[in-house]
């Protein structure tokens, strides 16, 4: 019985430690996913956190300078729009009018400094449909 | 026409499945061998019917029959033949059909192989397999019908997602993944059957050992090929992103790896019975859960997935399997109670238990990280992601602990560690110390050096076991060393194949460690004839060319690798005149069904690492923007991963002493 009790205690300790470490780890690694409207609504809290902003790339807003590798565009969710700045070339599948998610931080000037751009693409691909 | 045939085949499969279920359960209940035989035949009929459905869908895909909605949605007339064929697993309905087909195939193999043996368990195990198949057939009869019709048929289809049609690895990655995933249904079915019938107390694992190892190997191949595909196609120069789709395949592999180790303890000491049952149940649940994650649309949004019945049906099925399995386990808990206890604190047995704890901790970490965003959205309505830092921070130390256990358990014998066992650590210790010193002189520092030290020690321990065994055998039988090594391996195939798999893991982790620490990435805007350098390479852009293919337009940039000394040796000679060592063609591919071109990377691999080029943009003036990534030891990952799977298959290959 002693052995069994020891085994149970060991199991409890291991599981508790794992839960503690996982919860601690998750807290530091969660990245909130918000829309441009939500970002503007909580502009102050969002500063200095890593955020993911998702929206549609505003047609005509993309500028890219191959010499300086500066990419700028605007993301919209229909009601609010935020400016995004990124150092590097636009990723494949990045198109104006299509969905994109950027991960980065929200700076004092009100620009999202993107560290990465994730282009939404679904496995079941639908042809481009004209938007009203 | 084809859709009627296909739908009929699926209906026939459903009928065979239900009929077989009834025959087997009744036949077993009444002890009626004729009914059981009829059940076996129903399993074969099920396999034939699902095969017919697969053939029907393939005929529709190859013959571009757009009256079948699945065909119209996933391929078009320009799709090359290979990608029409693999359109079978290009989307939801087809992959459900593939699942059902593989499962029916496994069930038919069980029915043929175990006819007339293990009369108490096999009918029950087959019944469990039929129950699982019925669920997938139900999905196809309802919300995931691969033979739904489109009337009128459109003149052309949408075409396969270009990312899937971009690389032949897509032809092999999903089938291996499914062979692995679905394969775990067999040991699960036998485990449950053994519990229910109160027979085969320890035997069910030996009966299903080959199946488990085969499923584990196939799943491993599937995971590695998936990582490879992502590396070769997606253009980010990485192979693993802790994406939920990847995690979904990795979790069952981890738990199955734990199972493969702990069954050895049960075989030798008749211990850990309850534990092993729990592990195989969890493995199977994770394969269903993984299919649910990747196939229900829940990853896009928790709220999207309720728009189709598939997600809720999967959840109900997972719940049912969970309740059933745990119920059976609790009902028979007295039968699976262990009688003895582990022989000593320091023994191979107890290290195996620790190995299980670590593997499960890794799986639990990944499970929490994968499901947390789903729970947060479902419960609190916030959308969030758990980034790779979470996974890396937790899994890297756990992986290191796993390697230390792997090395120690390999060097220690079964049972209480004898005096002098520590001596076995000296050889591998010295060997790895020497290698680590070399790495340190070469400039490897800090955590990377620590990680590589652990990896090298773990690998050296495996080599030491080969060496020790071969030397002993050579002395005992007077054979020369190489022959002794071969004889040793074939005489203890299972054991040494295990060590080979360990070596494979060390290779994988060495590749991961080196490519994480020493990857370089830079973007270059270059005009024709311009030379530029990246760490370890001197490159020159030689111009771009456009080519037309039936299904796509390709713009390829020619980038030459120059001898590193080209510039210094003849400074007067322009770089444009230097002959190239090799030329790479990173390209952009434009598919008619997609408005933006898809960059397709070009990779040059050597054993030391990869040069990885992505064509980001082609300017009007002939200048291009290239992303250049140097990635040390990446080929070691593919080699090691495939070695692990190969070792698994070697260990179960039928032979005189299999």
Yes or no, beta carbons of A125 and B597 under 8 Å apart: no
Token pair 């199955």: residue: B256
Q: Are B571 and B98 in contact (CB under 8 A)?
A: no
Strands A51-57 and A30-34, sheet pairing: parallel
Which of B53-67, B519-533, B592-606: highest mean pLDDT?
B53-67
* CATH level 3 topology of A36-120: OB fold (Dihydrolipoamide Acetyltransferase, E2P) (2.40.50)
d(CA B450, CA B397): 11
Q: Are B14 and B137 in contact (CB under 8 A)?
A: yes
Q: What is the pLDDT of residue B60?
A: 96
Q: Are B242 and B369 in contact (CB under 8 A)?
A: yes
Burial per residue of B458-479, b for 16 or more beta-carbon CB atoms within 10 angstroms, e otherwise: bbbbbbbbbbebbeebbeeeeb
Point out the residue among B300, B394, B617 whose CB comes nearest to the CB of A89. Answer: B617
Name the band, by pLDDT with cuts 50, 70 and 90, for residue B91. Answer: confident
d(CA B566, CA B551): 40
Cα torsion for B350, B355, B360, B361, to the nearest 10°? Answer: 100
Q: Which residue has the higher pLDDT, B261 or B163?
A: B261
Cα-to-chain-centroid distance, residue B88: 19
Contacts of A50 in chain B (CB under 8 A): 387
Name the band, by pLDDT with cuts 50, 70 and 90, for residue A124. Answer: very low
Which structure tokens are listed for A23? 């919860």
**Pick from B404, B350, B355: which is nearest to A3 by CA?**
B350
Contacts of B597 in chain A (CB under 8 A): 92
Mean pLDDT, range B42-49, rounded to an integer: 98
Q: Which B-chain residues 509-538 have CB contacts (< 8 A) with chain A?
A: 523, 525
Q: How many CB atoms lie within 10 A of CB A96?
A: 17
Q: Are A112 and A106 in contact (CB under 8 A)?
A: yes
Q: What is the pLDDT of residue B167?
A: 85
Q: How many CB atoms lie within 10 A of CB B269?
A: 18
**Pick from B180, B208, B213: which is nearest to B497 by CA?**
B213
Yes or no, beta carbons of A29 and B164 under 8 Å apart: no
CATH number assigned to the domain with residue range B1-166, chosen from the 4 options 1.20.120, 1.10.1060, 3.40.1000, 2.60.40: 1.20.120
Contacts of A25 in chain B (CB under 8 A): 365, 390, 393-394
Does the CB of A126 have a partner CB in chain B at under 8 Å?
Answer: yes
The CA-based angle B253-B255-B257, given to 5 degrees, is 65
Q: What is the pLDDT of residue B137?
A: 97
Which structure tokens are listed for B393? 């921070």
The residue extents of the domains of chain A are 1-30, 36-120
d(CA A79, CA B471): 75
Residue among A29, A73, A88, A103 with most chain B CBs within 10 A, to mutate = A29
Residue among A16, A50, A120, A125 with most chain B CBs within 10 A, to mutate = A125
Q: Are A37 and A77 in contact (CB under 8 A)?
A: yes
Name the band, by pLDDT with cuts 50, 70 and 90, for residue A130. Answer: very low
Q: What is the pLDDT of residue B658?
A: 38
User: Chains A, B: CB contacts under 8 A, how many?
Assistant: 102
- Could you give the count of Cα atoms lying within 13 Å of B648 in the half-sphere of its Cβ? 26
Backbone angles phi, psi at B154, to 5 degrees: -70, 155
Q: Are A56 and A45 in contact (CB under 8 A)?
A: no
Contacts of A18 in chain B (CB under 8 A): 361, 364-365
Q: Are B279 and B242 in contact (CB under 8 A)?
A: no
Mean pLDDT, range B609-621, rounded to an integer: 88
* B338 pLDDT more than 80: no
Does the CB of B393 have a partner CB in chain A at under 8 Å?
Answer: yes
Rg (CA), chain A: 21
**Pick from B460, B481, B483, B461: which is nearest to B471 by CA?**
B481
Which residue stretches of B31-121 are H helix? 33-62, 69-74, 81-85, 92-113
Point out the residue among A14, A26, A88 whose CB comes nearest to the CB of B368. Answer: A26
* Cα-Cα end-to-end distance for chain B: 48
d(CA B462, CA B499): 6
Name the band, by pLDDT with cuts 50, 70 and 90, for residue B657. Answer: very low
Name the band, by pLDDT with cuts 50, 70 and 90, for residue A129. Answer: very low
pLDDT digits (tens, 9 = 90+) for B101-132: 999 999 999 999 988 788 888 999 999 999 99
Q: Which residue has the higher pLDDT, B269 or A85?
A: A85
Q: Which A-chain residues 24-43 have CB contacts (< 8 A) with chain B?
A: 25-26, 28-34
pLDDT digits (tens, 9 = 90+) for B215-227: 999 999 999 999 9
Burial per residue of A57-84, b for 16 or more beta-carbon CB atoms within 10 angstroms, e otherwise: bbeeebebebeebebebbbbbeeebbeb
**Pick from B214, B1, B247: which is nearest to B102 by CA?**
B214
Q: Which residue has the higher pLDDT, A42 or A112?
A: A112
Q: What is the pLDDT of residue B572?
A: 54
Does the CB of A18 have a partner CB in chain B at under 8 Å?
Answer: yes
**Pick from B67, B102, B109, B72: which is nearest to B87 by CA?**
B72
- The mean pLDDT of chain B is 90
Does the CB of B303 have a partner CB in chain A at under 8 Å?
Answer: no
d(CA B107, CA B133): 9
Q: What is the pLDDT of residue B271?
A: 81
d(CA B365, CA B207): 32
Q: Are B527 and B622 in contact (CB under 8 A)?
A: yes
Yes or no, beta carbons of A92 and B597 under 8 Å apart: yes
Q: Does B1-166 match B520-633 in CATH topology? A: no
d(CA B618, CA B171): 30
Q: What is the pLDDT of residue B341?
A: 72
Q: What is the pLDDT of residue B614?
A: 93
Yes or no, beta carbons of B523 and A122 under 8 Å apart: no
* Cα-Cα end-to-end distance for chain A: 73
Does the CB of A122 have a partner CB in chain B at under 8 Å?
Answer: yes
Point out the residue among A3, A29, A92 whose CB comes nearest to the CB of B599. Answer: A92
The residue extents of the domains of chain B are 1-166, 167-388, 395-518+637-652, 520-633
Mean pLDDT, range A56-63, rounded to an integer: 87
Strands A81-87 and A70-76, sheet pairing: antiparallel
Name the band, by pLDDT with cuts 50, 70 and 90, for residue A127. Answer: very low
Does the domain at B520-633 match CATH 2.60.98? Answer given as yes
Yes or no, beta carbons of B595 and A89 under 8 Å apart: no
- The mean pLDDT of chain A is 79
Least confident residue range of A16-30, B339-353, B444-458, B500-514: B339-353
pLDDT digits (tens, 9 = 90+) for B547-570: 998 888 999 999 999 987 766 655
Q: What is the pLDDT of residue B12?
A: 97
Cα-to-chain-centroid distance, residue B181: 8
Name the band, by pLDDT with cuts 50, 70 and 90, for residue B345. Answer: confident
* B14 pLDDT more than 80: yes
How many angstroms away from the CA of B409 is the closest CA of chain A?
A: 20
For this complex, say whether ipTM is above 0.85.
Answer: no
d(CA B484, CA B486): 5
Q: Cis before residue B152, ω within 30 degrees of 0?
A: yes
């Amino acid at each position: 019985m002693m052995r069994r009790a020891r085994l149970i205690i060991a199991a409890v300790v291991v599981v508790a430690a794992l839960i503690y470490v996982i919860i601690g780890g998750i807290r530091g690694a969660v990245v909130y996913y918000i829309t441009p409207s939500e970002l503007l609504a909580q502009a102050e809290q969002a500063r200095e956190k890593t955020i993911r902003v998702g929206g549609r790339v505003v047609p005509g807003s993309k500028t890219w300078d191959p010499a300086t590798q500066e990419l700028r565009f605007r993301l919209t969710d229909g009601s609010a729009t935020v400016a995004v700045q990124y150092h590097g070339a636009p990723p494949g599948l990045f198109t104006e009018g299509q969905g994109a998610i950027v991960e980065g931080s929200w700076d004092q000037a009100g620009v999202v400094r993107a560290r990465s751009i994730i282009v939404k693409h679904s496995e079941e691909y639908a042809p481009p449909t004209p938007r009203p | 026409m084809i859709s009627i045939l296909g739908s009929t085949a699926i209906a026939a499969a459903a009928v065979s499945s239900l009929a077989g279920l009834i025959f087997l359960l009744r036949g077993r209940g009444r002890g009626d061998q004729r009914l059981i035989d009829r059940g076996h035949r129903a399993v074969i009929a099920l396999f034939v019917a699902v095969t017919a459905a697969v053939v029907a869908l393939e005929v529709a895909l190859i013959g571009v029959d757009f009256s079948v909605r699945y065909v119209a949605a996933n391929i078009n007339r320009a799709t090359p033949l290979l990608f029409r064929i693999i359109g079978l697993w290009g989307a939801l309905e087809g992959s459900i059909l593939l699942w059902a087909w593989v499962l029916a195939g496994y069930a038919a193999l069980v029915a043929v192989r175990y006819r007339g043996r293990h009369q108490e368990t096999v009918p029950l195990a087959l019944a469990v397999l039929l129950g699982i198949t019925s669920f997938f057939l139900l999905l196809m009869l309802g919300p995931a019908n691969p033979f739904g019709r489109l009337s009128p048929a459109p003149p052309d289809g949408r075409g396969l997602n270009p990312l899937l049609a971009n690389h032949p690895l897509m032809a092999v990655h999903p089938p291996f993944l499914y062979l692995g995933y679905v394969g775990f249904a067999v040991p699960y079915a036998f485990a449950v059957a053994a519990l229910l019938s109160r027979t085969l107390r320890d035997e069910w694992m030996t009966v299903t050992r080959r199946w488990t190892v085969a499923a584990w190997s196939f799943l491993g191949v599937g995971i590695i090929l998936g990582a490879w595909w992502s590396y070769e196609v997606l253009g980010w120069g990485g192979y693993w992103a802790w994406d939920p789709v990847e995690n979904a395949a990795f979790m069952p592999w981890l738990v199955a790896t734990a199972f493969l180790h702990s069954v050895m303890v049960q075989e030798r000491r008749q211990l850990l019975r309850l534990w092993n049952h729990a592990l195989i149940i969890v493995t199977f649940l994770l394969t269903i859960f993984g299919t649910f994650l990747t196939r229900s649309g829940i990853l896009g949004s928790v709220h999207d997935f309720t728009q189709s019945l598939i997600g809720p049906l999967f959840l109900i099925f997972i719940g049912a399997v969970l309740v059933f399995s745990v119920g059976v386990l609790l009902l028979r808990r007295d039968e699976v109670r262990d009688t003895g206890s582990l022989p000593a604190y320091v023994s191979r047995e107890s290290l195996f238990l620790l190995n299980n704890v670590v593997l499960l901790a890794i799986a639990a970490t990944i499970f929490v990280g994968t499901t947390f965003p789903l729970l947060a959205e479902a419960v609190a309505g916030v959308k969030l992601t758990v980034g790779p830092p979470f996974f890396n921070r937790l899994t890297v130390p756990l992986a290191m602990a796993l390697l230390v256990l792997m090395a120690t358990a390999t060097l220690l014998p079964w049972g209480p560690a004898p005096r002098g066992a520590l001596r076995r650590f000296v050889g591998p210790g010295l060997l790895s110390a020497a290698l680590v010193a070399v790495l340190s002189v070469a400039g490897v520092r800090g955590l990377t050096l620590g990680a590589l030290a652990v990896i090298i020690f773990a690998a050296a321990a495996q080599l030491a076991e080969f060496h020790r065994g071969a030397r002993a055998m050579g002395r005992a039988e007077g054979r020369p060393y190489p022959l002794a090594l071969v004889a040793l391996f074939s005489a203890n195939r299972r054991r040494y194949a295990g060590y080979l798999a360990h070596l494979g893991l060390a290779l994988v982790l060495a590749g991961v460690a080196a490519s994480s620490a020493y990857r370089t990435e830079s973007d270059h805007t270059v005009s024709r004839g311009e030379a530029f350098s990246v760490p370890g390479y001197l490159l020159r852009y030689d111009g771009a060319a456009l080519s037309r293919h039936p299904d796509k337009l390709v713009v390829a940039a020619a980038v030459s690798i120059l001898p590193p000394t080209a510039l210094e040796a003849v400074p007067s000679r322009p770089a444009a005149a230097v002959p190239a060592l090799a030329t790479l063609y990173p390209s952009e591919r434009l598919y008619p069904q997609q408005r933006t071109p898809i960059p397709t990377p070009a990779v040059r691999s050597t054993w030391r690492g990869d040069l990885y080029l992505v064509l980001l943009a082609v300017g009007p003036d002939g200048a291009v923007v290239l992303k250049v990534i140097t990635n040390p030891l990446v080929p070691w990952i593919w080699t090691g991963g495939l070695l692990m799977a190969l070792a698994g298959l070697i260990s179960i290959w039928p032979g005189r002493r299999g």
